[in-house]
Amino acid sequence: MDWRPGLRAWRGGLLTGAAGAVRASGEAVHAASSIRHRQMIFDQELRRNPAELSRILVHELFHFAWVRLSNDTRRSWGALLVLEMARRARGELGWSAEWRKRLLVATSGSARGRRWSEYACESFCDTAAWLYAGAGEHAEFTLAARWSEARRAWFAALEARHPAGLRI
């Protein structure tokens, strides 16, 4: 775990410090994870907001859980997302999933390919943060209660199948 100022995602990389703070291109981000290097980097500003730090930390931890899920489990999560999209569910449980979902909808993306995989992963991590970080209300929680509760049930079923938990 590392702390850096001015985090921005740009061209698949991460800019930090003065370069990240002043660069106009790229997307400001709160944190990033590298599964391969077993590393998480957080923007220093999160130290000033413990509730937001908790939400972002849980999200980042669940990136490590996502890669350890079986293919069947990831497909099951994807099936839930396909159902939501078929029923035109709007909103998400975090911005990282929200903007990827909007991109899929705008491009008529299918439940295949890199964009879909990124959306599925981010929605999984955002949902976990919504469930486990104790954030309560948040401006980024825009998914309707009907769909949020379906996701809660999906996670409950996952926990029931793995009572010892996922090794992260």
What whole-number percentage of the chain has pLDDT above 70?
90
Looking at the structure, tell me whether residues 103 and 33 fall in a common domain.
Answer: no
Looking at the structure, tell me whether residues 68 and 145 fall in a common domain.
Answer: yes
Which residues, 6 or more positions from 58, have their beta carbon under 8 angstroms from its beta carbon?
Answer: 128, 129, 132, 133
Looking at the structure, tell me whether residues 79 and 156 fall in a common domain.
Answer: yes
Place of tokens 């469930």: 131
Of 9 and 62, which is predicted with more confidence?
62
- CA distances for 144 relative to 26, 65, 77, 131, 153, angstroms: 29, 25, 17, 15, 14
* Per-residue pLDDT, 166: 59
Per the structure, the count of domains in the chain is: 2
* Per-residue pLDDT, 151: 98
Place of tokens 């909103």: 91
Looking at the structure, tell me whether residues 39 and 83 fall in a common domain.
Answer: no
Asked which of 9, 28, 48 is the last residue of a domain, the reply is 48
pLDDT exceeds cutoff 60 at 168: no
Give the confidence band of 18 by pLDDT, cuts at 50, 70, 90. Answer: low
Averaged pLDDT for residues 115-138: 93
Looking at the structure, tell me whether residues 70 and 30 fall in a common domain.
Answer: no
Phi-psi region of 15 (alpha: psi -120 to 50; beta: other; left: phi over 0): beta
Of 100 and 151, which is predicted with more confidence?
151
Looking at the structure, tell me whether residues 44 and 72 fall in a common domain.
Answer: no
Give the confidence band of 20 by pLDDT, cuts at 50, 70, 90. Answer: very low
In terms of residue numbers, what domain contains 113? Answer: 51-168
Looking at the structure, tell me whether residues 64 and 3 fall in a common domain.
Answer: no
For residue 131, report the phi and psi dihedrals to the nearest 5 degrees: -75, -45
Looking at the structure, tell me whether residues 66 and 145 fall in a common domain.
Answer: yes
Beta bridge partners of 27: 9
Give the confidence band of 73 by pLDDT, cuts at 50, 70, 90. Answer: very high
The listed range with the strongest mean pLDDT (4-13, 106-115, 130-139) is: 130-139
Looking at the structure, tell me whether residues 88 and 125 fall in a common domain.
Answer: yes
Place of tokens 């949020």: 148
Looking at the structure, tell me whether residues 39 and 78 fall in a common domain.
Answer: no
Looking at the structure, tell me whether residues 156 and 110 fall in a common domain.
Answer: yes
Averaged pLDDT for residues 13-21: 66
pLDDT exceeds cutoff 80 at 11: no
Looking at the structure, tell me whether residues 17 and 83 fall in a common domain.
Answer: no
Task: Give the 3-state secondary structure of residue 42.
Answer: strand
Q: What is the pTM of this model?
A: 0.84
Please say whether the beta carbons of 158 and 54 come within 8 A: no
Give the confidence band of 140 by pLDDT, cuts at 50, 70, 90. Answer: very high
pLDDT exceeds cutoff 60 at 4: yes
For residue 30, report the phi and psi dihedrals to the nearest 5 degrees: -85, -30
